[in-house]
């Protein structure tokens, strides 16, 4: 039976507020309390680590300070780092040490108009994910692969998003690289009935790759997305032995 884990929960209190009067989003303690009330077993708290002015480095240091008060061996501290050209990440091993992280999720965050065109975007995301899986020792989890395709669909660059738009050899190459280099692939999807994504999930099952479950909740309410993923992992028969958590391997 799959463990009810969620390793992609954002503590959005730790980002720069547009308005100083704004009380800000969820703290680490609030997200952990919500996760426990949802029946989540292992809880992973992250915030973005990238060059955006919304996520300056001191915010991550504040998150670390709050997390230091957590004395729960099943709660883990991570970041969601941007994957850059060449599969490098915006956290780096030095940042990981300074923040005393348990894990790093590496995600591609691109959107129209940069890079221009859907097919250019798709190719760029594949190249970055594959390079990170193969060459970046700082990355534990490949975050929400190809989810930025939704932004291109929203901008009208493609009629609709489906995971089927990712060429099959790319899907298989990414899973193979993750399997060979011990990276977990993140299961993180808003539309868990999308046939293309379900077919990808079946490829995850057959590939023998490690997987991590992430709701990508930016507030306490959105942690509910994890429950759909837990059910699906169970129903599709993914191997519980391959369910990743920090320090398991």
Binding site for Zn ion (CB under 5 A): 80, 107, 216
In the complex with Zn ion, the residue whose CB is nearer, 127 or 205, is 127
CB of 143 to Zn ion, least distance (A): 6
State residue 19 phi and psi, 5-degree precision. Answer: -125, 120
Q: Given the complex with Zn ion, which of 47 and 175 has the nearer CB atom? A: 47
Give min distance, CB of 36 to Zn ion, in A. 20
* Smallest gap from residue 13 Cβ to Zn ion (A): 15
Query: Least separation, in Å, of the C-beta of 169 and Zn ion?
Result: 25
Min dist. Cβ of residue 208 to Zn ion (A): 25
**Comparison of 71 and 215: residue with beta carbon closer to Zn ion:** 215
Instruction: In angstroms, give the least distance from the CB of 34 to Zn ion.
Output: 16
Q: Which is nearer to Zn ion, 75 or 105 (CB)?
A: 105
Give min distance, CB of 76 to Zn ion, in A: 15
Is the Cβ of residue 38 or residue 107 nearer to Zn ion in the bound state?
A: 107
Nearer to Zn ion, 125 or 216 (CB): 216
Nearer to Zn ion, 105 or 130 (CB): 105
If you write DSSP's letter for every residue of the chain in order, what string do you get? -----EEEEE-TTSS--SSTT---S--HHHHHHHHHHTT-SSEEEE-EESS-TTS-HHHHHHHHHHHTT---TTEEEEEEEEB-GGG-BSSHHHHHHHHT-SEEEEE---BTTBSSSHHHHHHHHHHHHHHHHHH-TT-SEE-STTTTHHHHHHTTSSSS--GGGS-HHHHHHHHHHHHHHTPEEEE--S-TT-HHHHHHHHHHHHHT-EEEE---BSSGGGGGHHHHHHHHHHHTT--GGGB--TT--
């Amino acid at each position: 039976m799959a463990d009810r884990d969620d390793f992609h929960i954002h503590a959005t209190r730790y980002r720069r507020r547009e308005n100083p009067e704004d009380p800000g989003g969820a703290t680490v303690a609030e997200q952990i309390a919500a996760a426990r009330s949802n029946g989540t077993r292992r809880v992973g708290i992250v915030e973005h680590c990238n060059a955006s002015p919304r996520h300056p480095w001191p915010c991550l240091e504040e998150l670390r300070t709050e997390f230091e008060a957590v004395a729960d061996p099943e709660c883990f501290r991570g970041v969601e780092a941007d994957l850059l050209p060449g599969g490098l990440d915006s956290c780096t091993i030095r940042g990981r040490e300074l923040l005393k992280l348990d894990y790093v999720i590496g995600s591609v965050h691109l959107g129209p108009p940069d890079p221009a065109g859907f097919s250019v975007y798709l190719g760029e995301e594949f190249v970055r994910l594959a390079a990170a899986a193969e060459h970046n020792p700082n990355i534990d989890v490949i975050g929400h692969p190809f989810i930025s395709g939704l932004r291109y669909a929203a901008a009208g660059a493609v009629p609709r998003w489906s995971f089927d738009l990712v060429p099959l050899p790319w899907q298989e190459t990414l899973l193979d690289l993750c399997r060979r280099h011990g990276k977990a692939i993140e299961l993180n999807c808003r539309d868990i009935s999308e046939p293309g994504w379900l077919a990808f999930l079946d490829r995850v099952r057959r590939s023998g790759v490690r997987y991590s479950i992430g709701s990508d909740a930016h507030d306490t309410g959105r942690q509910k997305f994890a429950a759909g993923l837990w059910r699906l992992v169970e129903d599709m028969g993914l191997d519980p032995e391959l369910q990743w958590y920090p320090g398991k391997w």
